[in-house]
Amino acid sequence: MPEIRKDPVFGRWVIIASERGLRPNEFRGEAALENPYNCPFCPGHEAETPPSIYTLTGENGKDWSLRVVLNKYPALVAQGRGGSVADGMYDRMDGIGSHEVVIETPLHNRQLEDMTVSEIAAIFKTFILRVKEIKKDPAIKYVMIFKNFGRNAGASLAHPHSQIISMPMAPIRVVQEIDGAEAYRAENGDCVFCDIVRQEIEHKKRVVGENANFLAITPYASRFSFETWILPKKHESHFEMMDPGLTGDLAAMVKSAIGKLHVSMEDLSYNLVLHTMPVQDPSVDHYHWHIEIMPKLSLVAGFEWGTGFYINTVSPEDAAEMMNAGKKYKL
Amino acid sequence: MPEIRKDPVFGRWVIIASERGLRPNEFRGEAALENPYNCPFCPGHEAETPPSIYTLTGENGKDWSLRVVLNKYPALVAQGRGGSVADGMYDRMDGIGSHEVVIETPLHNRQLEDMTVSEIAAIFKTFILRVKEIKKDPAIKYVMIFKNFGRNAGASLAHPHSQIISMPMAPIRVVQEIDGAEAYRAENGDCVFCDIVRQEIEHKKRVVGENANFLAITPYASRFSFETWILPKKHESHFEMMDPGLTGDLAAMVKSAIGKLHVSMEDLSYNLVLHTMPVQDPSVDHYHWHIEIMPKLSLVAGFEWGTGFYINTVSPEDAAEMMNAGKKYKL
């Protein structure tokens, strides 16, 4: 079973999950991206995944349009003892939690930007429902929702899917992000993300999308070229507390941002990560959920590793200008 | 000129260096790894790099054996104003600093593990000399020394080289590492790295190399499969303060660790990063310089990005066993 180990210097947690080394990887070697015939996420292959936890039915009322299943090669599993134990000078705990896969569509090649707004909204509504269900277990402290798209972003299967990992502790960078936001509010009197929304709308140069309820920007200190964030305009610390009626506007913003990234970047790969409060914590005034999309233009060089210091060769203002003009970035 | 921007939530600094987007990349597309004919780091091409800052001469007393030059596509440059300025709610500063390249050998294909111990020791002695020289400028707060090897690690040129970047602030993760080590000492009474050295020597299962002055281990909470750290046994917070007489032992440990990684891993790529105290800070009892080697087995998936939460599919004990037995890891 997976084990979670704590680094004694940073306090960061690492999952040691040997079984995951066995998982298939379409992108490794010669595997075809376009081959739905042996894709475990395609219709007709339902027996190759663990059983559905949640299913949406399509317009014909009988075929599925979205499935949530357990990951066959989970990073964390439901069994095990809670609490951390000492291992000499170190600490570890059993890898308790869950690792779910959201198969976003039955269509192997229907990528996020090709879907309708209501199809994308159904994915976000599913995330909300799953988090609300998962957080009923008080042992689960954090639910991470993310999507890897493309070879350079570490995606192992091409069929459109996202992942939900629930875990017995909040990851260190989430804690630091919330602490940083709390310090900002103590000093400046408001939520830093609310201030970012206000300042970026006024400043305009980094805005790549806006509707009644959401704003898409290339953030001021972008770590990655064409990094894009989507923020709700209304303050809300927990993603799962959002009004489900707003998922349409969220979906429209995601569709537009990913669409612009595909136009501006050759052979786009990205990681999309939903940043939100730990699920058992109460709502707070200083933290604000949001989505971070990190395109992987080139491999991250050693300089960034373990230092938290990034070099980005495209300014966010240039990235926003190219995205809004529909211009392709030349490597 | 490059600009350094601060993220208002995390306090992490990002270098926005548009000029670096222009640099050549041998590994992109069809470029040959084995082609020294148009390599700017090979003998006969000295005019293609900025002039030498420092040169070592080989045994024949006339040809160079090692050169230090400025990076042609620097992340940071010498000119600019110091201090950070407000940019609306954000902060930025001019990208002051320097970016040097250490061309480790005249031989295009002589990789680190093929060099003699005294050739590798000469590289580390060069690092010490350069840091001592660079830190004379009080505006420089941190000197980052690193080496990217191989395509998956973001190396842009195959000829053996490492890099030295000096900067006007300490990177956030360096500050957090030192803070974490200080908290550990406050609680446990000793330097966490001294404790790691002691416990790992006693425990044996994660040791992959040891001599009189250095220890190589696969760390307990390894973020990457086959992650390897090299620690001096004697407490020293600043790398550049080490006794230059110990560089032979350090070189022997680096040669052995990289050699074992090459045997255990197919098509090895790695980032090697030297972790040390900010150069203007005094010596401290709680922090201990060391080297972290991060092999890049597969691309890092989205889960890790921005969360500080890693999934590693090879336990450090298994990695150490394979490295010590000279066994190849099967993907």
3-state SS string over B168-205?
A: CCCCHHHHHHHHHHHHHHHHHCCCHHHHHHHHHHHHCC
Residue B269 is classified by DSSP as -
Highest mean pLDDT among A134-138, B24-28, B32-36: A134-138
The highest-confidence range among A19-23, B4-8, B22-26, B66-70, by mean pLDDT, is B66-70
Catalytic machinery residues of B: 161
Collect all residues of chain A within an 8 Å Cβ-Cβ radius of residue B195: 8, 89
Pick the closest to residue B168 from B143, B147, B133 (CA basis): B143
Which residue in B87, B154, B181 is closest to A9 by CB distance? B181
Residues 198-217 of chain A with CB under 8 A from chain B are: 199, 203
- Residue B231 has a pLDDT of 98
| Cβ separation B306–A192 shorter than 8 A | no
Helix (H) or strand (E) holding A122: helix A117-134
- A205 vs B262: CA distance, rounded Å: 47
What pLDDT does A37 receive?
Answer: 72
Amino acid identity, residue B83? Answer: G
Binding-face residues of B in 241-270 toward A, CB within 8 A = none
Buried b (16+ CB within 10 A) or exposed e, A57-66: eeeeeeeebb
The CA distance from B295 to the nearest CA of chain A, in Å, is: 10
Give residue B261's pLDDT.
96
pLDDT score at B23: 65
Active site annotation includes A161: yes
Average pLDDT score over chain B: 89
Model pLDDT for residues B275-321, shown as the tens digit of each residue: 999 999 999 999 999 999 998 876 544 455 566 778 888 899 999 99
- For B149, the closest chain A residue by CA position comes to A302
Please answer whether residues A295 and A269 qualify as being in contact, where contact means their C-beta atoms are separated by less than 8 angstroms: yes
Residue spans of beta strands (DSSP E) within B95-175: 98-103, 142-149, 161-167
pLDDT over 60 (residue B245): yes
ipTM field: 0.87
For CA atoms B177, B271, A318, B4, give the dihedral sign.
positive
**Residue of B101, B87, B113 lying closest to B146 (CA atoms):** B101
Query: In b/e form, how buried is each residue of B122-150, taking b as 16+ CB within 10 angstroms?
Result: bbbbbbbebbeebbebeebbbbbbbbbbb
pLDDT at B330: 76
The answer to whether the beta carbons of residues A14 and A4 sit under 8 Å apart is yes
Question: Is B331 a residue whose pLDDT tops 90?
Answer: no
Taking only the tens place, the pLDDT of each residue in B76-96 is: 888 777 778 898 999 998 888
Query: Which residues from A are below 8 Å from B76, CB to CB?
Result: none
Tell me the mean pLDDT in the region B252-269.
Answer: 94
Residues of chain A with pLDDT under 50: 27-33, 300-302
**pLDDT the model gives residue A36:** 62
Contact residues, chain A, for B219 at CB < 8 Å: 7
Which residues in chain A have their CB less than 8 angstroms from residue B151's CB?
299
Beta strand B3-6 pairing with A310-312: unpaired
Q: What is the dihedral of CA A45, A50, A54, A60, to 10 degrees?
A: 10
Query: pLDDT at position A293, please?
Result: 95
A47 touches chain B (CB under 8 A): no
C-alpha pair distances (Å), B126 with each of A197, B53, B55, B58, B283: 48, 11, 9, 14, 21
Distance CA A75, CA A144 (A): 12
Higher pLDDT, A8 or B133: B133
Q: What is the pLDDT of residue B22?
A: 59
Catalytic residue among A99, A161, A235, A262: A161
Among 3.40.1400.10, 3.30.420.40, 3.30.428.10, 3.40.190.290, what is the CATH number of A3-325? 3.30.428.10
